[in-house]
Structure 1
Amino acid sequence: MSRRPLDVLRTLERHVIGLLLILMSAGYVVNVLVRLIVPSWSLHLVWMEELALFALAWLVFLGLGITLEKGRQIAMTALFDRLPEGPRRALGLVINLTGVAFSAYITKLGYDFARFVGGMGQTSPTLDVSMIWLYAALPAGFALLTLRYVLEIVGPANRFAFADRGQDH
């Protein structure tokens, strides 16, 4: 049985986000326990906090697409949900087109900035890895968000077809 590419993307995003969340939590627990139990070892685990911050950036930006798809983003829907289906779909199209333009623009800015940082040779103080790994989260997340907005426009059904904002689709 063949899976649709969007289903594969959803599954991959969810697994990566879940794994990042688990690893971040475990890292912080270990870090706190070491500081409480064996404070002299804490200097050897300084890198763990920075790694958790990198993971947090990736977690936040990778979650943008899923948040949009599920309709869990911050939205002002009091008037929107009361519109008849035709105007609601038209306004939804305008919102999605604006979302594509904005997300694509942020993707480009983020990509340019990540390239700039990578070209400058900046490295993280404790991990000693290129800072591009931190700054690449923004264009990656917004590229996925752009894809989700495009799929809202060309997809067979979109989130604006539903009056109930909490409905999973």
Structure 2
Amino acid sequence: MAETINLKLKIWRQKNHSDRNLRTLRHAGREYAHVVSQMMDVLNDRLIREGEDPVAFDHDCREGICGMCSMYINGRAHGPLKGTTTCQLHMRHFSDGETVTIEPWRAEAFPVIKDLVVDRTAFDKIIAAGGYISANTGNAPDANAIPIEKAKSDESL
């Protein structure tokens, strides 16, 4: 049987600009192997079964590369582990019985739409205009980005 964790979640709930609060919910008995986005899915399934509105949150790739899952967890962007995105943060990094506070990423340029979802229009406009950044993430370089000498390239044919 997999290890389980019981958490007290304080989640930012916001229906509109003026109606916002931290709501306390219980999360019990899920596997330590789950990541935060999976935990949110399980929580939302339970809320729907109980006739409540699910918590709105963004996610896309669930592989740690898109940045859609940005949340503040216990006062830190993406949570307590440096270099780890929310969708890669496993529940085993929290202690059984711990209170975990989950809030949206808040900045003037990215207003909260609902719950944990922010308006990323400003960021999307930069991307659509061709803007990007290069950041060394410590991973191996993309094979297509490594220059190959012409002679060696010709030998591969």
Bin the TM-score by the shorter chain.
Answer: under 0.3
Using structure 1 for the length normalisation, give the TM-score: 0.24
Using structure 2 for the length normalisation, give the TM-score: 0.26
Structure ranking higher in strand proportion? 2
Structure ranking higher in helix proportion? 1
